[in-house]
Chain A
Amino acid sequence: MMYDIGLTVFNGLAWAMATFLVAAGLTLIFGILHILNFAHGGFFMIGAYVSYTVMLAFGAGLPLWVFMIGAMAAAVVVGLLGWAVDMFVFRRLRDVEDAYSLIATYALLLVCGGAVQLIWGLNYLSVMPPPSLNSVVFIGDVFMPTYTIFVILSGVVAYIGLELLINRTQIGQLIRVVAVDPWMARLLGLNVTRIYLVTVIFSFAMAGVAGALLMPNQSLSPELGGIFLLQAFGVVIVGGMGSIRGAFLAALLLGMIESFGTYLFPQYPGIFFLLALAVILLVKPSGIMGKEQTA
């Protein structure tokens, strides 16, 4: 019994931190540009493929640092794509209705999926975790793959890093200012467009890193974009309008619900997350950390 609970909590944590890695960039854009970015899943997928290509170039038996180089490459490539997306798409969505900007980001997701199919083909590709992460440790009786522990730690590090960035640095302060009132910020002489651009690049780079770090867990296919997307959407919305802390707590909450649900009813994986999402949204549509909407 203790063993089962330990394992279920561990699985819940793994789900939560993997999803948080994807959701972090999503929530950043949602909080500041108020765009729910469907394409995030697509750029996550591109990050995974870029890192795959880098690792392929270095050959088999990869040490951890090659894996990290792959992640850096994914961050740079996807970050640059973010720059282009902000220049050509997001910047024009400022005055467009919410529904249309949601649809525009969906169009971007389609383009990402198509590009991946054209460049890397339709076949499933897969990568083993680096050997140093490809073992297991036992804590008590509980069987823990080191790679999963690595993912959990990455999630925690990403969360702490983001909190520090947003709350303790000057650029974080600027981002918060723009999120609250872009009009006033512009009036005070801040370069709001530049801050938006930095946010988007950063968010996209995080999508790329998430893709690279989570890749060894997945088989790479053009459908990858959609798989994490709904989970990340759920976490962002349950967390409340662009709140990093909310997204982190929501990821933990939903991860535990999903993990315990699947433990109790193993024939229905994936359902408990959706049920919890629906119930939470219905009870508190603004999310657990969100402010009540007035409209």
Chain B
Amino acid sequence: MIDYRVRFRTNLVIAACGLAAFAVVPFVANSGLLFLAGLVAINIVFGLSWNFLFSGVGLLSFGHAMFFAGGAYGMALITRHVPEMPFLLALVLGAACGGLIALVFGVVALRRASGVYFAVLTLAFSELIHILITKTTFLGRNDGLTGIPRPVIELGFGTLNLTSATAYYYFIIIAMTLVAVMMWCFQNAPAGRLLQAIRQDQMRTAFLGTPIQGWQLTAFVISGTVAAFCGAVMVPFTQIASPEIAYWTVSTQPILFTLLGGAGHFWGPAVGAILFGAIDYGTRTMHGLSEITVGVLLLAVVLIIPGGLLGLLKRRRAAASKSTRAETAGERTSETEAGK
């Protein structure tokens, strides 16, 4: 058993290293790559929010796009109709939109469905929201809501101008790091351990007196809120909320990130999101190649290396230490035998 504080420090260092790596990007890359890096940073936390549900409590969601889009559209509507609203409050309200969707859906769906049925229900509900967006004039139909301005934040002692893409990029990576660290803390707090217990053995945890559905709902709402926060942060960056972000292929993105990186590890989705961004960028001139690459990788992960990339590294390391241990153990037995 490793001490919580040691693990917290290790993971804080990982987060800080990630932040530092992303902070270097504007100095070494052009604006196109900067844009991509910003989206990858958002995708990392989007993936974390999905894996929080999948590995955290054992719910498979195929509809995370509805939360992402909920946050994005909430944010876009607020900035268009209530421009005097402080930016950070608008972000929080945008995230709350996703939380609300998760609450309504979760109350109804978690009571009845589980496993594959739950997955299809999330898929159907998310598609419902996608269609509603494309048919509602208030939400811009197929064109989406465009021209979302980037903010200038009033601090007591001065203003923080985030209107340039680079400045807003820094805001993104700092916000995403904070959310990631908060999620790590929650997942390793007693509540997070309880969710883990529900995933591992639902019936036994229920026997111990845990209200399973209540905790599942809590996890669902938290995951939805974080996903919506990602959507809300993205909107001023891309300056548009378009219905494509509610399409079901967006729901499958965090699944790809998580499985490629490794579902069993907290930072798995982060590794996966970066890898996915790199594959997408590397194959951008060949239509179809990125899908094939990602699809084959994903198949390989499920069939051959169930732990994903990080799982593979972990296993390598475990195997290495095991073989050294076995060697020393072997020496010891031969010594004792020699002693006899």
A residues contacting B by CB (< 8 A) are: 36, 89, 92-93, 96, 98-104, 106-111, 113-118, 121-122, 222, 226, 230, 233-234, 237, 267-268, 270-271, 274-275, 277-278, 281-283, 285
Contacts and interface: CB of A to CB of B under 8 A. Distances in A.
Contact of A285 (B117, B124, B259, B287): B117
B288 to A, nearest CB: 3
Most chain B CB inside 10 Å of its own CB: which residue of A92, A100, A107, A277:
A107
Contact of B295 (A107, A237, A282): A107
A121 B255 CA distance: 26
A24 B293 CA distance: 30
Nearest to A92: B303
A278 B125 contact: yes
Most chain A CB inside 10 Å of its own CB: which residue of B255, B294, B298, B302:
B302
Contacts of B108: 282
B117 A103 contact: no
Contact of A99 (B119, B125, B127): B119
List 4 A-B pairs, minimum CB-CB distance, nearest first.
A117-B288, A114-B291, A110-B295, A114-B292
Interface residues of B, number: 41
Contacts of A222: 288
B298 A36 contact: no
Given A114-B295, A268-B135, 10 more contacts: A89-B303, A99-B115, A102-B116, A107-B294, A111-B295, A114-B292, A118-B288, A222-B288, A233-B124, A274-B127
B324 to A, nearest CB: 31
A173 B225 CA distance: 50
Contacts of B131: 268, 270-271, 274
Contacts of B179: none
Contacts of B125: 274, 278
B228 interface: no
A100 B301 CA distance: 10
Given A103-B298, A104-B303, A111 B291 contact: yes
B123 A115 contact: no
Most chain A CB inside 10 Å of its own CB: which residue of B120, B248, B255, B294:
B120
Nearest to B296: A111
Contacts of A101: 302
Interface string B103-140: 00000110011011101110111011001100100000
A275 B115 CA distance: 20
B127 A230 contact: yes
Nearest to A273: B124
Interface of B: 54, 60, 108-109, 112-113, 115-117, 119-121, 123-125, 127-128, 131-132, 135, 248-249, 252, 255, 259, 286-296, 298-299, 302-303, 306
Contacts of B112: 281-283, 285
B302 A103 contact: yes
10 contacts: A99-B54, A99-B60, A102-B119, A106-B252, A113-B295, A114-B291, A274-B128, A277-B124, A281-B124, A283-B112
A89 B117 contact: no
A93 B299 CA distance: 11
B158 to A, nearest CB: 48
B295 A267 contact: no
A36 B120 contact: yes
Nearest to B290: A114
B288 A116 contact: yes
B6 to A, nearest CB: 31
Nearest to A222: B288
A156 B32 CA distance: 53
A160 to B, nearest CB: 28
